[in-house]
Structure 1
Amino acid sequence: MPARQAGIRNYDAIIANGLVILEQGEVLTDVAIKNGKIAAIGSALRGAEHVIDATGLVVSPGMVDAHVHINEPGGGIRKDWEGYVTGTRACAKGGVTTIIAMPLNQLPATVDKNMLEIKYAAGVGKLVIDAASHGGLVPYN
Structure 2
Amino acid sequence: MLGRSTWWCAPAEQSPKDETDSGDVSRLAWITVRDGTTLSYWIFPQSDATTPWVSAGSDDSTCVAVDLIFTDGSDLRDSDATDQSGTGMHPADQCGHLTLDAWNHVTVNLGAVKAGQAISKILVGYDRPGATGGYRGYLDDLSIA
Higher helix share: 1
TM-score by length of 1: 0.26
Structure showing greater Rg = 1
TM-score by length of 2: 0.26
Higher strand share: 1
Higher relative contact order (CA 8 A, sep 6+): 2
